[in-house]
Structure 1
């Protein structure tokens, strides 16, 4: 490993050790979440949740009216009116995944959360040490961007937990994706601590890129919720048809499909204005650095395509005929555009944003 001039070698090494330590503890948290799902999903509480889900999915019996000889009518049964806020809302109840599902499962869940907090603190230390080693924002290349994005994604998850939100169901899948992100960061994308080219020495590096990281982390959570929504929606549909499979006991731990759909929509809708500001801030920085606001650079172009894709998703989700699976596919396409812009465009397509290297 080569350390460039103006770089604190000790802090750079500490940063690397802390990131590797965070990966190790995240792995332990991943195993604890696996244990939580294994023990919690086979519990009596989980089986009860499954029975309630199937019962809620059953169609209500119609009202029966009996005509009396005197000319009056007597209502023997009155159907229950269920108000639904989504085209795929079947009235199913949330599974027990947010709160364990069994004593042993809940124990492993609490262990997983504790390990996630410890890993996040190590992760935070690695990012801060990287910043101190070069005296700048720790997102000047793809390695630093990836490690910081994973940090913010886990941070948003822990923040929602601290606010009392039932989001423990996403812990296993979020940690899995963050481990993949960090694995790519420390192998394929790794770059030594170094100073940046003159064009990046601007306060806009703190504003524009930090906003992009926050948006990416939120889009990440929204995409995971949408992905899980598709599986849970299929589970509920199979439950209605009476053809549940052997592994469907895992899906019953998830929140109802309508809950997942609503969560994904809310987090994407909340972060979309910030993504709009991110693109505007990038244009202002481009004018300062390159003398033009917009030049259809590949990264600029795909950022705009991502913006259009998410705008289409939000519009579709707010339109009655496009709620549910159709809107979910648009959400995943939009997140796919974000990933393509980050990985494929930055690595394989040469543009003005390529000067930072990996």
Structure 2
């Protein structure tokens, strides 16, 4: 099997992943919009402990607003079960596409924005999947899969590049270390940003109270968002440090004021500000989460606007 065929199979796997994740999104939407019972003040003697995500994945009940248990319809459980399986399948297909692309080019496939985006989509799905093993996140599935579907569509069209070699400065053992951790942190930050956005909307009651009763309370959403960001921040810190070390080897200096370097530090600063605000008693949770959203906006700017419109030593990463 030649390299051209491997690259073609990688594209087939990517297209299959996009289709599978789209179907998963529809199943999650069915679960959330049509099947999840709205939390009401239900009179019952059966109580469930309050957790960030609700009951475990295998439970057949939903937590109501007052902690009471409400039976989940069979149709909803089936839709969520199918969606969960498809999400894992989609992640597996993205990983397969990643591996085939790597074999096709004979390098670690994180040398441009297209490859980075598909890897980021995988890590976002993986973050959601792993977190779902510990808590019930069926309510979150439609939002994560919708974002991943959109990302894959853009990556496959606007950002697609043919499989090829990379510039000499990228031919280093730091590529799989630095860029993989960067991509993983972006995947974690993606899910964290989605939950932060849901918290901000839920706290304001945007979209109607009936809809938000289908999700965990705003306070639980905020705590879950914080738990994700507290994981992503050390990963991004490592990305910043590893990038400086790699820059020293490739260009002779730890810091070159390259636009990508500057924005990597800007992102680190914004998320550090979020964690500081989150730990400060005088700062509201809403204000802190707006800072987290700003951090994710900086990530998007870094990998889109900076990549395409700011000429620097990282311009090859388009």
Q: TM-score, normalised by structure 2?
A: 0.88
1:342 aligns with 2:303: yes
Quick one: which of 195, 198, 211 aligns to 2:181? 211
Partner of 1:112: 83
1:50 aligns with 2:40: yes
Considering only aligned residues, what root-mean-square deviation do their CA atoms show, in Å?
2.0
Note the C-alpha offset of 1:276.
Answer: 1.0
Q: Deviations over 1:50-91 (max 9, x none)?
A: 336xxxxxxxxxxxxxxxxxxxxxxxxxxxxxxxxxxxxxxx
- Superposed, 1:92-171 pairs within 5 Å as 101-162=72-133, 164-171=134-141
Contact 2:41–2:66 at 8 Å: present in 1 too?
no
Partner of 1:199: 169
Note the C-alpha offset of 1:172.
Answer: 0.5
* Cα distance change, pair 270–120 in 1 and its aligned pair in 2 (3 A): closer
Q: Work out the CA distance in 2 between the residues paired with 1:255 and 1:323.
A: 20
Q: Work out the CA distance in 2 between the residues paired with 1:277 and 1:122.
A: 28
1:34 aligns with 2:38: no
Contact 1:100–1:106 at 8 Å: present in 2 too?
no
1:353 aligns with 2:318: no
Gap regions ≥5 residues in structure 1: 1-6, 53-91, 239-244
Moved more, 295-304 or 109-118: 109-118
Partner of 1:231: 201
Note the C-alpha offset of 1:134.
Answer: 1.2
* Cα distance change, pair 317–224 in 1 and its aligned pair in 2 (3 A): same
Q: Work out the CA distance in 1 between the residues paired with 2:34 and 2:95.
A: 31
Contact 1:35–1:105 at 8 Å: present in 2 too?
yes
Gap regions ≥5 residues in structure 2: 43-64
Partner of 1:71: none
Quick one: which of 229, 233, 241 aligns to 1:268? 229
Quick one: which of 310, 329, 344 aligns to 2:290? 329
* Larger relative contact order (CA 8 Å, sep ≥ 6): 1
Contact 1:95–1:252 at 8 Å: present in 2 too?
no
Q: Work out the CA distance in 1 between the residues paired with 2:71 and 2:94.
A: 26
Secondary structure of 1:321 counterpart: coil
Note the C-alpha offset of 1:95.
Answer: 10
Partner of 1:58: none
Q: Deviations over 1:316-356 (max 9, x none)?
A: 00111213211111110111111111111001111110023
Aligned residues: 296
Partner of 2:262: 301
Quick one: which of 5, 18, 37 aligns to 1:10? 5
Note the C-alpha offset of 1:286.
Answer: 0.5
For the pair shown, which has the larger CA radius of gyration, 1 or 2?
A: 1
Partner of 1:188: 158
Partner of 1:24: 19
The runs of at least 4 aligned residues of structure 1 exceeding 3 Å deviation read 92-96
1:176 aligns with 2:166: no
Q: Work out the CA distance in 2 between the residues paired with 1:301 and 1:93.
A: 47
Q: Work out the CA distance in 2 between the residues paired with 1:167 and 1:93.
A: 19
Secondary structure of 2:214 counterpart: coil
Q: TM-score, normalised by structure 1?
A: 0.79
* Cα distance change, pair 101–322 in 1 and its aligned pair in 2 (3 A): farther
Moved more, 31-40 or 252-261: 31-40
Q: Deviations over 1:201-220 (max 9, x none)?
A: 00000111011001101110
Q: Work out the CA distance in 1 between the residues paired with 2:128 and 2:199.
A: 18
Secondary structure of 1:9 counterpart: helix
